[in-house]
Amino acid sequence: MQHIPALWHDPETHLARHQPDLPILYFSPRVLHQTAARFQAGFPGLVTYAVKANPHPAVLSNLVAAGIETFDVASPGEMAAVRAASPTAVMHYNNPVRSQAEVQAGIKNGVASWSVDELSELDKLAEVPRSCEIAVRFALPVSGAAYDFGSKFGAAPAEAVDLLQRVAAAGWVPSLCFHPGTQCEDPNAWVEYLGEASRICEAAGVKISRLNVGGGFAANRDGLAPNLEQAFDAIGQAARRGFGPDQPLLICEPGRAMVSESFTLAARIKGLRKGGDVVYLNDGIYGGLVDIRDMGLPGRVYVVASNGVHRSAKATPRVVFGPTCDSLDRLPDGLPLAQDAQVGDYVLMPGLGAYSSAMSTQFNGYGLSDIATVIELSGTRHG
């Protein structure tokens, strides 16, 4: 019989019972469903999910259950992960640089939409069925995101005009796409991109039926919640302004903002030195905290004793090292931790569903692998 893992009430209950000595992620499917519903209610178009942020089978199958039927994939490995979650899911293959073998894998997996940002890449797609959509990816030098994606992928607008004309002339379904950069806190980035999208279509003389506005939606940062609805409204208005009543169907493909809040990471304190100023955790930048290194903390951090009770003393800033023997394995900004934290306690970090387990290595024999399912995530219960 199929094994269905137990559902715990919250991370604290699980920690107190099992006292895990390896870092662990707590997953709340309920929170993931709520976030999916928020995107579906607010975004003025089709909501898809960028698999790379967290490709765990439980994430994909819960998104399918929440009504997400289209996935942004970047590799044959992600195609297989999506197929395992849903035999009928639609795939958009939006990694614009592909080997011939990857193109064949995309065709075999029935990819419905392909992005392209260079003529050399369009040439590789000759065998893609003409019923498919090809979305020309363009990039602008706009700011607003924590880091910009335009430096790696994306055609300049003039090249995009040329590519769009070629796509249409070859008989594919022409479309445009862009990605404003991850953790994009300024809706204006989308507004600028949408304005340029309408100019590209006009210059090319090509009518597109769909327009993919990428991911990049902000997740909580430093405990502040983003105003997703403001971004959704700005996108809807900019599309109407640029394209008029005949506007293309909008598509978004959030990764980070869809999944981040549905996971909380628990790392254990292995050692305290210098009167507690220096903390050694059992997870670090080669494990689930790589994104904290680059992006900062999503939310508040909680220290929980091994009996599940929250430490309540005032938080003080600490130097924080990960478990490996590499001296780079250190959080650049440290963490504020309750003054009464002890060795054997757990540090709970909410908002770590995106780019955590997906990027965790097994360097030095450490890394994230355990996940437990909970109803409530931490921060909702205090000792």
Residues identified as active-site? 325
Site string for ligand PLP, 248-277 (x = CB under 6 A): -----xxxxx--------------------
Q: Distance between CA 32 and CA 38 in Å, rounded?
A: 10
Instruction: Report whether 72 contacts 94 (CB < 8 A).
Output: yes
Residues 51-70 close enough to bind ligand PLP by CB under 6 A: 52-53
* Sheet-wide strand order for 173-177: 45-47, 249-252, 210-212, 173-177, 133-137, 113-116, 90-93, 70-73, 49-50
Closer to ligand PLP at the Cβ: 35 or 94?
94
Cα-flanking dihedrals φ and ψ of residue 96, to 5°? -80, -5
- Is residue 300 packed enough to be buried (19+ CB in 10 Å), middle (13-18) or exposed (0-12)? middle
Here the tokens at position 263 are: 């996971």
Please report whether residue 176 would count as binding ligand PLP according to CB under 6 A.
Answer: no
Nearer to ligand PLP, 53 or 136 (CB): 53
Residue 113 binds ligand PLP, judged by CB under 6 A? no
CB closer to ligand PLP, 74 vs 269: 74
Query: What distance in Å separates the CA atoms of residue 314 and residue 260, rounded to the nearest whole number?
Result: 26
Interstrand relation of 70-73 and 370-374 (parallel, antiparallel or unpaired) = unpaired
List, in order, residues 6 or more apart from 333 with CB less than 8 Å away: 296, 297
356 in contact with ligand PLP (CB under 6 A): no
User: Nearest residue by C-beta to ligand PLP?
Assistant: 215
Nearer to ligand PLP, 217 or 243 (CB): 217
Minimal distance in Å, beta carbon 97 to ligand PLP? 11
CB of 301 to ligand PLP, least distance (A): 22
Instruction: Based on the shown chain and the rule CB under 6 A, indicate whether residue 144 belongs to the binding site for ligand PLP.
Output: no
Written as one string, the DSSP assignment of 146-196 is SB-STTTS-B-HHHHHHHHHHHHHTTSEEEEE----BSB--THHHHHHHHH
For residue 23, give both structure tokens: 């870092």
CB of 79 to ligand PLP, least distance (A): 14
SS3 27: strand
- Residue of 221, 186, 215 whose CA lies nearest to 43: 215
Token look-up 């909680």 returns 302
Query: Quick check: 221 binds ligand PLP (CB under 6 A)?
Result: no
Q: How many residues bind ligand PLP (CB under 6 A)?
A: 17
Q: Does 133 bind ligand PLP (CB under 6 A)?
A: no
The residue (of 51 and 338) whose beta carbon lies closer to ligand PLP is 51
214 binds ligand PLP (CB under 6 A): yes
Is residue 105 near ligand PLP by the rule CB under 6 A? no
Residue of 72, 192, 261, 291 interacting with ligand PLP (CB under 6 A): 72
Site for ligand PLP, rule CB under 6 A: 50, 52-53, 72, 94, 179, 182, 214-217, 253-257, 354
